[in-house]
Amino acid sequence: MTVEPISTYNIKALAQLMLELWPDSSFDEELESCIIILNNDNDVCYLIKDKEMTIKLDDKIART
């Protein structure tokens, strides 16, 4: 299992995972959210992977 901070390298995987968690949105909306998180120094977000498969999103941003 690996833990990766989000980056330009894995941002599309993060957006895809977020879309699976919140299917009422679109990939483009989630990608935009990911870019905002990536560019904000006050936000932290990690992808947790098992054998290169993204299995969990861990962030400090609460969704309602």
> What are the residue ranges spanned by the domains of the chain?
2-59
pLDDT band, residue 8 (cuts 50/70/90): very high
pLDDT(27) > 70:
yes
pLDDT(36) > 70:
yes
Check: CB of residue 2 under 8 Å from CB of residue 41.
no
Q: What is the per-residue pLDDT for 55?
A: 55
Check: CB of residue 22 under 8 Å from CB of residue 10.
no
Count of beta carbons in the 10 Å neighbourhood of residue 45: 20
Instruction: Name the token pair of 7.
Output: 């980056």
Count of beta carbons in the 10 Å neighbourhood of residue 21: 12
Q: What is the per-residue pLDDT for 63?
A: 45
Report the distance separating Cα 6 and Cα 45, nearest Å.
6
